[in-house]
Amino acid sequence: MSDQVGPAAPAEHHPDPAVVRKTAMWAFLGSEVLFFGSLITTFLLYRSRIGEGPGPADLFDIPFTSVSSFVLLMSSLTMVLAHHSAMRRDSRQMRVWLLATALLGLIFLAGQVYEFTEFVHQGLSIGTSPFASSFYLLTGLHGVHVAVGVLMLLATAFMSFGGRLRADGGMNVEMVGLYWHFVDIVWIVIFTVVYLLQV
């Protein structure tokens, strides 16, 4: 290839921290794609294996889950607004939108807790069938991701209140945002594959 001695290609002496961190976050999210991909594959393999227990048609309340999905989608909007405020260095607005995002995330989680409780009452425990096992593991681990996101949102807001978020605070918000949007997109896939496509 370029064995000849040529002019040095331009490169940064001090790489832009935002670029470094975004590269890392994208790499990590790439890994997460495979993580949820494996969980969804397991679900697809098992979704018709309901044994003696209740199946998707008996359990899923599509209007309810549509509402909670809508809530989660709206949290992506508030996340964008939080980032937008951070870029304008309006930390008051930013905190409001961060907390709003966290609140929407918590509402979604509450909906999931309600849904799980309801399903258990209808006779679907984790050991009922392979369908049950794969459903709870997939949606449960997604819920864990939402919960981690809520913690990150609250921590960022808390840092901002304490004045610990420095001038580059917009970058932190952007990182949390990347993660948050990713978790939302995964939910769109889960909602479609698990709830809507009941062939």
CB of 181 to other proteins, least distance (A): 18
CB of 68 to other proteins, least distance (A): 24
Residues 105, 157: contact at Cβ < 8 Å?
no
> Counting beta carbons within 10 angstroms of the beta carbon of residue 63, is it exposed (0 to 12), middle (13 to 18) or buried (19 or more)?
exposed
Q: If you compute the radius of gyration of the chain from its CA atoms, what whole number of angstroms results?
A: 21
CB of 13 to other proteins, least distance (A): 6
- Pick the closer one to other proteins by CB: 38 or 122: 38
* Contact footprint for other proteins (CB under 8 A): 1-16, 19-21, 23-24, 27-28, 30-32, 34-35, 37-39, 42, 45-46, 49, 51, 125-127, 129-130, 132-134, 136-137, 141, 151, 155, 159, 164
CB of 66 to other proteins, least distance (A): 27
194 three-class SS: helix
- Pick the closer one to other proteins by CB: 69 or 129: 129
- Outline where the chain has alpha helix (H): 17-46, 56-59, 62-87, 91-121, 130-161, 169-190
- Pick the closer one to other proteins by CB: 30 or 63: 30
Residue 15, sorted as left (phi over 0), alpha (psi -120 to 50) or beta, turns out to be beta
- Pick the closer one to other proteins by CB: 25 or 74: 25
